[in-house]
């Protein structure tokens, strides 16, 4: 089984750092992280970032999002150096979910708070 989803997120425009709220057509509402389904792998196939100013987006992974304070590890960064848009095709980030407790989130840092956006193409496949 394979399913492709698009995760979309944006900064709040008021804070210079924080966690991006993620949306997708399969979510009922925005989430702060995406929990990977047990026994599946997520293949991130593209990234697109845009915004009104400099923004560093960091993709983070946790082995267990069910604990009170998950330990997040940076696995990938994308920097928008000024106002504009940038797409990165042919990305091959593979994340595995052995327990169903694994998750991914996106955080951001900006010198000045502005609106910025990220889009991730994610293909979910059975292991």
Q: What is the pLDDT of residues 31-40, one digit of tens each?
A: 999 999 999 9
The C-alpha atoms of residue 124 and residue 121 are separated, in whole angstroms, by: 10
Residue with tokens 């709220």: 21
The ranges assigned to domains in the chain are: 19-115
Distance in Å from the first CA to the final CA of the chain: 9
Q: For residue 89, what pLDDT is reported?
A: 83
Name every residue whose Cβ is closer than 8 Å to that of residue 6 and which is 6 or more positions away in sequence: 24, 25, 119, 120, 121, 122
pLDDT in tens, 95-116: 999 999 999 999 999 999 999 9
pLDDT in tens, 82-97: 999 999 887 789 999 9
Stronger pLDDT, 2 or 124, i.e. the higher one: 124
């Amino acid at each position: 089984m394979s399913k492709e989803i698009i995760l979309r997120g944006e900064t709040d425009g008021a804070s210079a750092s924080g966690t991006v709220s993620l949306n997708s057509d399969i979510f009922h509402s925005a989430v702060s992280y995406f929990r990977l389904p047990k026994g599946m792998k997520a293949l991130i196939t593209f990234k697109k970032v845009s915004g009104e100013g400099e923004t560093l987006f960091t993709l983070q992974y946790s082995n267990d999002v069910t604990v009170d304070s998950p330990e997040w590890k940076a696995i990938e960064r994308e920097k928008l150096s000024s106002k504009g848009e940038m797409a990165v095709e042919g990305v091959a980030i593979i994340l595995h979910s052995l327990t169903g407790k694994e998750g991914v989130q996106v955080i951001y840092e900006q010198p000045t708070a502005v609106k910025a956006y990220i889009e991730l193409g994610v293909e979910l496949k059975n292991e």
